[in-house]
Amino acid sequence: MAGFEILDPTVEPRRQPLTYVPRPDSLRGKRIGLVENTKFNSDKLLVKIGEILKQDYGAAETRMWRKHNAGVPAHAEIIEEAKRTVDVVVAGIGD
Amino acid sequence: MTARITSQRYAVDDFQEALDLCYRKGWTDGLPVVPPTEAAVRAMLDAAGLEPDAQVAFITNRQVAITAEKVAINAVMAGCLPEYMPVVLAALEGIADPRWGYHGPATSTGSAAVLMIVNGPIAKRLDFNAGDNLFSPGWRANATVGRAVRLVMRNVIGTLPGRLDRGTFGHPGRYTYVMAENEADSPWTPLHVERAGCRPSDSAVTVMAALAPIQFYNQLSSTAAGVLTTLCDTMRYPGQIGQPNYCVVLAGEHMRTIAADGWSKADIRKFIFENTTNTIAHFKRTGRLPGAVKPGDETTTRTLVQSPDDILVVAAGGRAGSFSCFIPGWASRTSSEAVTVVIKERRA
């Protein structure tokens, strides 16, 4: 049998630059957004984290959003509101 | 068709070297694959009437465009005939649909597979099995179409077990999980006509994020309610809470018994919906809902799915045997729902 060629079935992931916003030097006085992913205890875990950020790190306040489900990114309304109303966001899962 | 095929090429001396390369590169599902040569890939694209760079679907959360070329390569590897391509393409459109919600069912510890239900004239023409040994090996269309979709998930979308795909168990349906509805013998409206408003002459594939099939046995009942009572008793316990869909597959003997009582698919769905409720107390006692049992929990019930329409009733399976089965969906209604896609037999 003569030699032949076969084709690669995979794709190279598209590379995209990812830019992070500058991190705050301190959480003192900052407004904290919490994004929970709908799984059991996800909200409780984030509430606890929010309390620690307020008590131990001086954060001013927290507010929480709930994603549509665990498998999707935070939806547009969350992103828009977060941009307007908080300085820092903590996203986490409970499972 | 003139556009170039741009995938990287690998020169090999013979079949064995091609196979070894595919294994070494991690391109297979563990079984040997057909080496994807340009001629075979061209035949696959021609059958679908697609240029290599045509975008078939886009997986948003992975930012991956699935092109016809990559689908064709993986379909060749899976062992598909070129005429299967339109079915593979439609299934991929289905799992890329936001309602199906690719990321969850593809990667969750909950281990869904892609159940594909083929309806319409294409099922018979391409010899998709709808009858005896429904989920068994032996039918090329069933075996390779599901396999092609899984290879695209692996090789194009990057859904690699142990890495992005964290299934706790997975299940055998992840090799392939394809059936056709037995429209020839069914007394009922086909699934694609009911769910998607298709004409019976249309062909379509319904994709559902699905766990493994669970069969039940009833050799005693001669009535629709009798057979379905056994189904409901079996069906109401194994699931999680709030699954989006269940698929109920009624095989020959049960199909005839239920139809003889004049029940439609809508009647079947209603009966199942009403007879698979559980109490909140039951869910709490069995660790499916949090908290202690409270007054009222014993009499407050919860349905298996949100609506009777979330139960997909399909006539398929062997002519003989007092068995039918049901297939639980994965996760919750907001995470994934079954999607029906019309099969475009040849694309411009």
Between CA B229 and CA B218 the distance in angstroms is 9
Percent share of chain B, pLDDT over 90: 91
**pLDDT score for B348:** 47
**pLDDT score for A72:** 81
- Residue B107: closest C-alpha in chain A: A71
> Residue A3: its chain B contacts at CB < 8 A?
11-14
pLDDT at A8 over 70: yes
Find out whether B56 and B97 touch, Cβ atoms under 8 Å: no
pLDDT in tens, B294-342: 999 999 999 999 999 999 999 999 999 999 999 999 988 788 999 999 9
B164 reaches A (C-beta below 8 A): no
**pLDDT score for B239:** 59
Pairing of strands B323-328, B246-250: antiparallel
Between CA B106 and CA B84 the distance in angstroms is 23
**pLDDT score for B243:** 80
Average pLDDT over residues B67-74: 98
B155 reaches A (C-beta below 8 A): yes
**pLDDT score for B240:** 63
> Residue A15: its chain B contacts at CB < 8 A?
none
Find out whether B7 and A8 touch, Cβ atoms under 8 Å: yes
The continuous run of DSSP H or E covering B89 comes out as helix B85-96
> Residue A6: its chain B contacts at CB < 8 A?
9-10, 12, 18, 21-22, 35-37
The sign of the torsion formed by the CA atoms of B194, B195, B199, B202 equals negative
Nearest CB partner across the interface for B103, out of A8, A16, A71: A71
> Residue B335: its chain A contacts at CB < 8 A?
69-71
Check A40 against B290: CB less than 8 A apart.
Answer: yes
Nearest CB partner across the interface for A7, out of B9, B62, B331: B9
Average pLDDT over residues B251-268: 98
> Residue A5: its chain B contacts at CB < 8 A?
9-12, 37-38
Find out whether B244 and B255 touch, Cβ atoms under 8 Å: no
Between CA B84 and CA B73 the distance in angstroms is 13
Say which residue, A94 or B245, is predicted with more confidence: B245
Supply the pTM of this predicted model: 0.93
Nearest CB partner across the interface for A3, out of B11, B77, B107: B11
pLDDT in tens, A29-78: 999 999 998 888 888 999 999 999 999 999 999 999 999 888 788 999 99
Torsion angle defined by CA atoms of residues B100, B106, B111 and B117, in that order, rounded to the nearest 10 degrees: 50
Q: Degrees (nearest 5) of the Cα angle B52, B98, B240?
A: 125
- A-B contacts at Cβ under 8 angstroms: 95
- Residue A16: closest C-alpha in chain B: B63
Q: Among residues B301, B340, B335, B266, which one has the least CA distance to residue B109?
A: B335
Nearest CB partner across the interface for A71, out of B5, B41, B335: B335
> Residue A18: its chain B contacts at CB < 8 A?
none
R_g over Cα of chain A: 20
The sign of the torsion formed by the CA atoms of B59, B166, A7, B84 equals negative
Find out whether A4 and B12 touch, Cβ atoms under 8 Å: yes
DSSP helix/strand/coil, B167 = coil
pLDDT in tens, B151-163: 999 999 999 999 9
Residue B8, classified by CB atoms within 10 Å of its CB into exposed (0-12), middle (13-18) or buried (19+), is exposed
Among A6, A8, A12, A38, the residue to mutate for chain B (most B Cβ within 10 A): A6
Check B101 against A71: CB less than 8 A apart.
Answer: yes
**pLDDT score for A14:** 72
CB atoms closer than 10 angstroms to residue A30: 18
Average pLDDT over residues B277-303: 93
Distance from the A93 Cα atom to the nearest Cα atom in chain B, whole angstroms = 13
Find out whether B19 and B35 touch, Cβ atoms under 8 Å: yes
**pLDDT score for A39:** 84
For chain B, give the mean pLDDT.
95
Check B13 against A3: CB less than 8 A apart.
Answer: yes
Between CA B77 and CA B148 the distance in angstroms is 7
**pLDDT score for B133:** 97
Q: How far apart are the first and last CA of chain B?
A: 11
Q: At B296, list the tokens.
A: 């009222």
Confidence of residue B105 (pLDDT cuts 50, 70, 90): very high
Average pLDDT over residues B165-172: 93
**pLDDT score for B345:** 81
B12 reaches A (C-beta below 8 A): yes
Say which residue, B79 or B331, is predicted with more confidence: B79
DSSP class of residue B172 equals G
pLDDT at B238 over 80: no
Check B37 against A7: CB less than 8 A apart.
Answer: yes
ipTM of the complex: 0.93
